[in-house]
Amino acid sequence: MRGVVMYAPGDVRVEEREDAKIVEPTDAVIRVTAACICGSDLWPYRGIEKLNGPTPMGHEYIGVVDEVGDEVQNVKVGDYVVGSFVASDNTCEICLAGYQSRCIHNVMMGSVGTQAEHARIPLADGTLVPTPGEPDKDLVPSLLAASDVLGTGWFAAVAAEAGPGKTIAVVGDGAVGLSAVLAAKQLGAERIIVFSRHPERQALAREFGATDVIEERGDVGAAKVKELTGGYGAHGVVEAVGTEESMWQAIRSARAGGYVGYVGVTHGVQLDGLKLFFTGVHLHGGPAPVRRFLPELIQLIWDRAIDPGKVFDLTLPLDEAAEGYKAMDERRATKVLLTL
Ligand SMILES: [Zn+2]
């Protein structure tokens, strides 16, 4: 089967990989019908995360079940399915509490590499959620977004306690930040402030429900949030970048007693304990338990109540994945969809 393999920073190739097959009786194999490139795939592409030799890429997917292991009961051959970027049993205490991405049996889908024609899905019963049927073509990008960026933005907005009457600020105008804006709006937030310097991303943020845009970053940006909120700061803040500066920007944008939902994969963040101590904010984040939200998100998309697929601004065939990585690295694209 054809699949994306990263050889070294900046070196992405599409080549013949070993066919996906059932290994455990709890596995399924899906025919991937659309995949995409994640902001987090850029960390190794830029050499910030180390690669251990040629690495199959991709952890977001939508597809059709091709084959199931003997113990799989909840999905069958022919089902159209969406799954999270982390496979989970969905039965352990951590899963039942809604933290499937930290399931005691979790498997990171990045280790499978879903930017490929087929993918092995471990723990298929707990991981895959069938859609109500074969989706209309125009719903595919949104369903694919649910696999990671939408689910992650949604979790971040929930962790930031977005809800009626709340002011929510969003640090990061990538696909996850924009999805968090959409989520905060759906969850009933009254005011949604997004940090962004990009006109197109500002426009999409407003379409998704942002009421205010701040172009400044860091402490200056955080001070602007305080200015807009009578000196208090936001009730909740989403952090969707993962740097030391963006973490402080988020924490300082929140009021005392407020909530920061952080979902940007942190790189080099070392928070000063004493500074943190005096902020009095709740910090809640990590790899998003997308599986918790998938049934609800699939239904909202199916009913055309939300259109998160708009975060994709470049579509390429799988064979041109290298160009997709380049476009995202050079910020010519927010998020790239790969067709199969
Ligand atoms: Zn579990």
Domain CATH code at residue 84:
3.90.180.10
> Mind listing the pLDDT tens digit for each residue in 278-332?
999 999 999 999 999 999 999 999 999 999 999 999 999 999 999 999 999 999 9
324 and 275 in a common domain: no
164 and 250 in a common domain: yes
119 and 79 in a common domain: yes
Q: How far is the CA of 27 from the centre of ligand 1 (A)?
A: 15
**Looking at residue 243, which CATH number applies to its domain?**
3.40.50.720
Q: How far is the CA of 262 from the centre of ligand 1 (A)?
A: 22
Asked whether residue 75 carries a pLDDT value surpassing 90, the answer given is: yes
The pLDDT assigned to 40 comes to 87
The pLDDT assigned to 253 comes to 98
Residue partners of 204: CB distance under 8 A and separation at least 6: 178, 310, 311
Q: How far is the CA of 194 from the centre of ligand 1 (A)?
A: 34
157 and 79 in a common domain: no
Q: How many CA atoms lie within 13 A of 79 on its CB side?
A: 21
229 and 119 in a common domain: no
226 and 97 in a common domain: no
Q: How far is the CA of 126 from the centre of ligand 1 (A)?
A: 8
Q: How far is the CA of 165 from the centre of ligand 1 (A)?
A: 34
Q: How far is the CA of 61 from the centre of ligand 1 (A)?
A: 20
The pLDDT assigned to 115 comes to 97
Q: How far is the CA of 202 from the centre of ligand 1 (A)?
A: 38
166 and 127 in a common domain: no
267 and 302 in a common domain: no
Q: How far is the CA of 267 from the centre of ligand 1 (A)?
A: 26
The pLDDT assigned to 114 comes to 97
Q: How far is the CA of 103 from the centre of ligand 1 (A)?
A: 4
Asked whether residue 237 carries a pLDDT value surpassing 90, the answer given is: yes
DSSP-derived 3-state class of residue 311: helix
Looking up tokens 């804006």, which residue turns up? 181
Q: What one-character-per-residue DSSP string does 142-163 give?
A: HHHHHTTHHHHHHHHHHHTT--
Q: How far is the CA of 293 from the centre of ligand 1 (A)?
A: 15
328 and 248 in a common domain: no
In the chain, how many domains are there?
2
Q: How far is the CA of 12 from the centre of ligand 1 (A)?
A: 33
> Mind listing the pLDDT tens digit for each residue in 94-129?
999 999 999 999 999 988 899 999 999 999 999 999
Q: How far is the CA of 230 from the centre of ligand 1 (A)?
A: 43
310 and 226 in a common domain: no
Q: How far is the CA of 34 from the centre of ligand 1 (A)?
A: 26
Q: Which whole number is the average pLDDT over 174-197?
A: 97
Q: How far is the CA of 203 from the centre of ligand 1 (A)?
A: 39
Average pLDDT, the chain: 97
Q: Which whole number is the average pLDDT over 9-16?
A: 97
> Mind listing the pLDDT tens digit for each residue in 158-182?
999 999 999 999 999 999 999 999 9
Q: How far is the CA of 215 from the centre of ligand 1 (A)?
A: 40
Q: How far is the CA of 96 from the centre of ligand 1 (A)?
A: 7
Q: How far is the CA of 93 from the centre of ligand 1 (A)?
A: 6
- Owning domain of residue 143: 2-148+289-339
Q: How far is the CA of 6 from the centre of ligand 1 (A)?
A: 30
The pLDDT assigned to 111 comes to 87
Q: Assign residue 146 a region: left if phi > 0, alpha if psi is -120 to 50, beta otherwise? A: alpha
Q: How far is the CA of 125 from the centre of ligand 1 (A)?
A: 11
DSSP-derived 3-state class of residue 277: helix
311 and 250 in a common domain: no
Q: How far is the CA of 84 from the centre of ligand 1 (A)?
A: 13
DSSP-derived 3-state class of residue 296: helix
The pLDDT assigned to 186 comes to 98
Q: How far is the CA of 88 from the centre of ligand 1 (A)?
A: 5
> Mind listing the pLDDT tens digit for each residue in 27-48?
999 999 999 999 889 989 999 8
Q: Which amino acid is at 170?
A: V
Phi, psi of 126 (to 5 degrees): -90, -15
217 and 184 in a common domain: yes
Q: How far is the CA of 82 from the centre of ligand 1 (A)?
A: 18
Q: How far is the CA of 98 from the centre of ligand 1 (A)?
A: 9
